[in-house]
Each structure stands twice: as structure tokens, then as C-alpha cells.
Structure 1
């Protein structure tokens, strides 16, 4: 159903998504925005089943032409305190082997994905956020990978992604000490994209959505894939891949529109072609 803001609760044809486990999805067609909202108060614990469903939802939204930008957030004071601890003991080895693939869904998604983090953003909540393209945090945000306290290590890409961002020394400090990183420190260390007062988080995310929608969808998809693919490439390989993608985009209608709009001193009307 739709509300006054023209936001509707999204349902899916896939029977595996007939009943979402601890989260819901909203669509605002006029803003080309989809929101995945973790909703298992008070801490928005992410169940094992929800991990499978989150992957499927990202794949469905990636294929939905009405959606340009995806935002993932949590209801209430916290993004997520992490996973269902008991669920790890109950899950089969095969299921556990899929955890990292499921949580990497935001990274594989061709569209920009924004994580809106406040309060506890622990364990899989942190790992899910690290797989997103942008992390907008409130000053109340606390990032942590607390698995050492359970005699375990992060299992969904957390330590690997974090090391790419902050280096091995800081990653050891976070992982091996189960250390909590405040929002401002996360910004200073390059983990967060932006840190804002708690009451400004939603507006900061909305502003970023508005900004991203002004760019060419094709150029954004290309930039995201290129940056992901070259993250661990040699510099010479990365430069070559950048050049190949640049040449491909030169043939696009969006590039022509961008150049013509620049010379005409008007706002470009990109179509994604």
C-alpha cells in the first residue's frame, strides 16, 4: 500500500521472499529509491534466513528498472547488533559456506548502495555495510567485529574488506581486540563516507540519493564495477581497464548528452543508454 509520500511496501514474486525475515522493503518510484529496512527491534538481529533473503532482494532490486539507488538502514536506535548467535550452531556447514556470498550482494549489485548506520553496527551488520558503496553514519554509530569474544573470526568478508580500507595494523586492532569504532573515528579512518549528527542521518542519505540520481546510470554502473574489479589489480592493469571502459562510454548516448549539455550550459538529461 502507498502512503502520502508515495512510498509503497514492495512485495516479490519469488516464493522465497513471500515472508521477509526481520526486514521489509519500500519503494519510492518518484525518487527511484528502494529502502531495505532491518526491522527486528530493539537491535535488528539478522537471522541466517535473512541473509539468504537479503541476497535475493538485492538481486531483484538490481533487475528492477524503477530503482536507481538502494538504501539499507535499521529501525530505531541501532542498525544491527549482528547475527543470531545461536543460529551459527544450528546452521549446516553448507549454509555457513554461503554467508560471505550473501552478504557481498550489495557489492555485486550494479546500482549504488548506501548504508545508513546509527547505533550498534556490529558483526554481520558491519560486514553488510562494508559491502555497500557509501556508508553514512551518525555520531552514535559504533562499528565492531566482535567475533573474537565468541572464539571466532568474521566470516562474511568483514576483516578482508576492512583491511583493504584501513590496512592490516588497524584491522588487527579492530578484529583481534573486538574494538568498537565510533562514527567520527570511522570517518577519520576512511571507513565511513560521512558522519553527521544523529538527527541529520536521514536527510544526509536523502541528499546523497538526490545527488547520485543526477549522474548517468551507465557511467555509475561502469565506475562501480571498474573500481571493484581493480581494487586488488596492478596499477598498470587498472589503468588499462580504466581506458577500455572510458573508450566504451565515449560511444554512449549519455556521454553525448553530457557534452552537449555542458556546452549549452544546461542540466543534462541522462537516460542510461
Structure 2
């Protein structure tokens, strides 16, 4: 087993499986530095012939709670276009990824979970494209990645309402590929990745490239629109109310302006 670490990530390689752990607990909020580090890590693992599959996991309570709308975190939204540019690099990586999704995969955290080939969840997992509940537009390529996975109508419902989807329901509609006990999420994801790694690696990479052909380009086009709409909606009263309500843990009172 080999192990490396960075400010935001740790990487452990055992056999042909690399476990990449987001290390900004408890919520693993998105940042440009985190996504850039993740993209760099994927590039390095792609170049390692011994690594045949990746488990994307997270330390702490949540897989990724999206953007930090509290304190100084809100200012980081100004770099959304830069963050999405780095996110596209994640979709361009060649090695298969299984996401071990514990706790919340919320907002951009859902987008990060959707960048993986497969998702393992538990009863305590929650998925949500909660952007409209903040007066905001979905980002991280969700408008391109969610509809093919769960269907256009289901994706529209999830994005329009912003409602949270528990792990069992996510498994029913195909958003989660495996549902296991919460305590077994990472081990099950690692076993899933090991099954992939046991197949012929050149063939797996070729099949993946065929199945995901054009995906990075679609995400690039989607995030360009998403970032533009986010910048526009960020100037509205509804967005300010949504963020205030989120911080105060109360229902938002949107006025459509």
C-alpha cells in the first residue's frame, strides 16, 4: 500500500485500487483548490499503470455539502467559472471512479458525485440539487449529467424543487448503484472498484471512453451556461433571501425579483 497527502486530499493505493479522500471535514465544501487538486490527482493516477480504478470518498459527516454559503464561503462563488473549468478536467480523466457517498451530496456535491461512474450510498445518504431553494441555478454540470442518469422528467423534478432524495429512493431511481448499510459504504465502494480492477484494464478504459464519449464537452458547454445564469441570479433579491433563510434555518420567502 502506498499513501500520499495534500492540503485537501489523501490518496491510498492498495493493489490496483486508489482511494482518493476529500479531506475538508465535516462538510467537504467545494473550493477551486479542492477541485483543482482532485483533477491533478486524477491525472497522476491515470499515468500510473498499476491503478485500474478509483474510489472517491470523503472524511467527515458529508461526502460534499456543495458551496459554503456561510461567512467568507459566499465570496468563493465569484470563482465559479474557474471552478467549473477544473471540474471539466475531472470528466476528462480516464480511470473509472466509484463514489462512496455518505451523508450529504448537496448542490455542487451532487455534481461531484455525478462525475463518478458509479455511486454507493446508504440509508443515511442524502442527494439534493438544492439550488432553487437558494434562488440559484444548478451548477457543476448537473444539467448535463443528471438527466441521462435518472431521466429527463425525474431530473427536472429534482432540479425544480431542490428537494432532498434519501439513499433508498436514490437507489430506486438509479442515482445510486448500490445501497448498503451506512457503515459499509466505503468498503462496498472499494469492493466495487476491485471488481472493475479485476477486468482487463486496457479494455475497461476503452469501454469507458466509448460510453463517456463527448461527456466532458457536454459538461463544458453546460457549465458555461450554468455559470452565466448563476452570476445573473446572484444579483437578485431571491438569492439574498435564499442564502439568508439557509443560514437562519427557516423557509425562504421568495418574491420573484
* TM-score (norm. length: structure 1): 0.72
Instruction: Give the aligned CA root-mean-square deviation in angstroms.
Output: 2.0
| Cα distance in 2 between the residues matched to 1:55 and 1:193 | 23
**Structure 2: gaps (5+ residues):** 216-257
8 A contact 2:111–2:141 mirrored in 1: yes
| Cα distance in 2 between the residues matched to 1:213 and 1:36 | 15
Q: Give the aligned partner of residue 74 of structure 1.
A: 58
Q: Give the aligned partner of residue 32 of structure 1.
A: 16
Q: Give the aligned partner of residue 56 of structure 1.
A: 40
| Cα distance in 2 between the residues matched to 1:40 and 1:230 | 31
SS at match of 1:221: helix
SS at match of 2:21: strand
8 A contact 2:16–2:194 mirrored in 1: no
SS at match of 2:84: helix
| Cα distance in 2 between the residues matched to 1:64 and 1:71 | 15
Q: Which of structures 1 and 2 has the bigger CA Rg?
A: 1
Are 1:100 and 2:84 counterparts? yes
Q: Give the aligned partner of residue 173 of structure 1.
A: 157
Deviation of 1:88 after TM superposition, in Å, equals: 5.2
Aligned length: 213
1:89 aligned to 75, 79, 90, which one?
75
Residues 90 and 112 of structure 1: CA distance in aligned 2, closer, same or farther (over 3 Å):
closer
Bigger relative contact order, structure 1 or 2, given CA contacts below 8 A and separation 6+?
2
Is 155-164 or 32-41 further displaced after alignment? 32-41
Matches within 5 A, 1:179-190: 179-190=163-174
| Cα distance in 1 between the residues matched to 2:37 and 2:26 | 21
Q: Give the aligned partner of residue 227 of structure 1.
A: 211
| Cα distance in 2 between the residues matched to 1:101 and 1:193 | 27
| Cα distance in 2 between the residues matched to 1:89 and 1:211 | 42
**Structure 1: gaps (5+ residues):** 1-5, 12-18, 232-273
| Cα distance in 1 between the residues matched to 2:55 and 2:191 | 12
Deviation of 1:25 after TM superposition, in Å, equals: 2.1
Deviation of 1:108 after TM superposition, in Å, equals: 1.8
| Cα distance in 1 between the residues matched to 2:59 and 2:76 | 27
| Alignment deviations for residues 24-62 of structure 1 (CA, whole Å, 9 cap, x no partner) | 22222x412222212222212122321222222211221
Deviation of 1:126 after TM superposition, in Å, equals: 0.9
| Alignment deviations for residues 236-272 of structure 1 (CA, whole Å, 9 cap, x no partner) | xxxxxxxxxxxxxxxxxxxxxxxxxxxxxxxxxxxxx
Is 60-69 or 213-222 further displaced after alignment? 60-69
Deviation of 1:165 after TM superposition, in Å, equals: 1.4
8 A contact 1:99–1:155 mirrored in 2: no
8 A contact 1:166–1:190 mirrored in 2: yes
Is 33-42 or 80-89 further displaced after alignment? 80-89
2:127 aligned to 138, 143, 150, which one?
143
Deviation of 1:153 after TM superposition, in Å, equals: 1.1
Deviation of 1:150 after TM superposition, in Å, equals: 2.4
8 A contact 1:43–1:79 mirrored in 2: yes
